[in-house]
């Protein structure tokens, strides 16, 4: 479990959505100062953690939590095939 509370919150959201471990790629930026500064420049986002879905920058913890609460994050995960689509049954 991450040391950072914001990173822990991101992990919890990923767990809630049952994102398979093989679909995740994580980096410990505490162990790599160059990565820590470079990723902030790459994304033009000042904070960590940073969440990417299929290489597209989504945002940080606050953005992810907002997307989770609105249902947007689950939709995004399903759209990219990261989690299975929820089948809704039609009227019978």
Q: Is the pTM for the entire model greater than 0.75? A: yes
The candidate with the shortest Cα–Cα distance to 4, out of 22, 26, 25, is 26
d(CA 75, CA 91): 23
Question: For 16-35, what is each residue's pLDDT tens digit?
Answer: 999 999 999 999 998 999 99
Question: Does 4 appear as a known binding residue?
Answer: yes
5-80 topology per CATH: Glutaredoxin (3.40.30)
Say if CB 13 and CB 65 are below 8 A apart: yes
- For residue 86, what is the DSSP state? P
pLDDT at 90 over 60: no
| 31 CB-side CA count, 13 A | 5
């Amino acid at each position: 479990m991450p040391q950072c509370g914001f990173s822990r919150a991101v992990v919890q959201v990923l767990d809630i959505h049952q994102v398979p471990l093989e679909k995740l790629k994580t980096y410990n930026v505490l162990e790599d100062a160059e990565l820590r500064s470079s990723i902030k420049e790459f994304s033009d986002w000042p904070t960590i953690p940073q969440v990417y879905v299929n290489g597209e920058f989504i945002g940080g913890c606050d953005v992810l939590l907002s997307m989770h609460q609105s249902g947007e994050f689950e939709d995004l995960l399903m759209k990219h095939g990261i989690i299975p689509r929820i089948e809704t049954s039609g009227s019978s």
